[in-house]
Amino acid sequence: MEKTNVSKTTTKLAKMGLLVAISIVLVYLIHFPIFPAVAFLEYDPADISIMIGTFAFGPLAGLALTVVTAVIQGLTVSASGGVYGILMHIIATGTFVLVAGNIYRVNKTKKGAIIALAVGVASWVIIMILANLVITPLFMGVTRDVVVGLMPFIAAFNFIKAGINSIITFFLYKRVSKFLHR
């Protein structure tokens, strides 16, 4: 009995490690600005594997995937963002996985997934508006007025990024989940 639990845990950790690796590769290969006026706000599909892992293993596993991915990504392929980038990634994606993961955990249907993803996107956008108002002036050395001036771009960027990644997750999850639950 105990050996079986250790084996299941090891298998789950290996699958989660694979999802982190996929996330890092995705951000390395695909990243581009959505709005040329604010080129530092780059779209990347790295959160798709985190979202898939959240639906497969639950919100706490999703949060663990988020933190590990954000730190590795922030120290390697996205090192220019530094601690600020790592923190913002953890806040954005962490909010999403906790909200969407908890909703999906209770209602594992297509409709439940759509609701989870939609509420997750809304939560992501709201938390990033607040996080940018508080954290960006501290790390970037700009006034809050500068951040407020960029807020239409920041809100739209977060909505587009989370929205695209959620749509892709919706279409991929059931296909990938067969492997993850094997």
The residue segments making up the domain with residue 157 are 2-31+44-180
What is the model's pLDDT at position 4?
77
For residue 24, being part of any structural domain is answered with: yes
The CA-based angle 180-112-54, given to 5 degrees, is 35
How many domains are contained in the chain? Answer: 1
Q: Is the dihedral of CA 158, 161, 164, 170 positive or negative?
A: negative
**Closest to 49 (Cα-Cα) out of 159, 172, 160:** 172
pLDDT in tens, 33-63: 999 999 999 999 999 999 999 999 999 999 9
User: Where residue 165 sits, what CATH number does that domain have?
Assistant: 1.10.1760.20
For residue 37, being part of any structural domain is answered with: no
pTM over 0.85: yes
For residue 6, being part of any structural domain is answered with: yes
**Overall average pLDDT of the 11-23 stretch:** 97
For residue 74, being part of any structural domain is answered with: yes
CA–CA distance, 110 with 174 (Å, rounded to integer): 10
For residue 39, being part of any structural domain is answered with: no
For residue 38, being part of any structural domain is answered with: no
pLDDT greater than 60 at residue 6: yes
